[in-house]
Copies of this chain bind each other. A is one copy, B any other.
Amino acid sequence: MQINILAGGPTELWPDNLFEEPGLWIGADRGAWRLYQHGMAMMMAVGDFDSLAASELATLQAHLQANEIIHVQAEKDETDTELALRYAQEQKPDQIKVFGATGGRVDHLLSNLWLMADPVFHDIVEKTTFIDRLNTVSYVQPGEKTVRKVPHTKYLGFMPINDVADFHIIDAKYPLALTENVAKMWSSNEFKTDVVHISLKTGIVMVTQSRD
């Protein structure tokens, strides 16, 4: 099962054909309103929707109620996207795709991209992908791992998002061998074939695949 989360980021960063994604949908914050506007069924909505106009809010709340859609508000220590991910996680999905989580506020973007560093998400780290028009962001846990090329992307980037030991990029255009953790985005790498092999001993490495 695939679960898709739509967060409230700028719509111009949505990939083409967003709503043709298979799977079930969760709306986070303004993302719930946008799912409603696009006639998409959602399994859950999260947020206080304080960015919606009064009439939008009333329409959305009536829709959630009429369709018996679960609706929760995040506590102050959680973000809407975090709570959406926790609910998705409980459904034991094979894959989670998060859209609308980039662009706009830098604190939102970084908050979203670093969620996978929270130990509570341990079992979905390698199942979760953040996707926008130009970028696909995935994550790798310790071990010897294979990264597959996402179609229509060109550039490959790797970044330790917490304490990563013995990080190796084995067969990309620019190999890398690090024993100590370095807090740095290794950007503008490229695939030589359709797969790249990497390894790490501890921590989590973020993998970005992008196009201009």
Contacts and interface: CB of A to CB of B under 8 A. Distances in A.
A117 interface: yes
A40 interface: no
Contact of A79 (B79, B132, B161, B188): B188
Interface residues of A, number: 38
A159 interface: yes
A126 to B, nearest CB: 17
Contacts of A79: 187-188
Contacts of A109: 109
Nearest to A76: B174
Contact of A162 (B118, B132, B183, B212): B183
Contacts of A102: 106
A97 to B, nearest CB: 15
Contacts of A51: 212
Contacts of A163: 163, 183
Given A51-B212, A106-B102, A106-B210, A117 B157 contact: no
Interface in A137-190: 137, 155, 157, 159, 161-163, 174, 183-185, 187-188
A205 to B, nearest CB: 12
Nearest to A118: B184
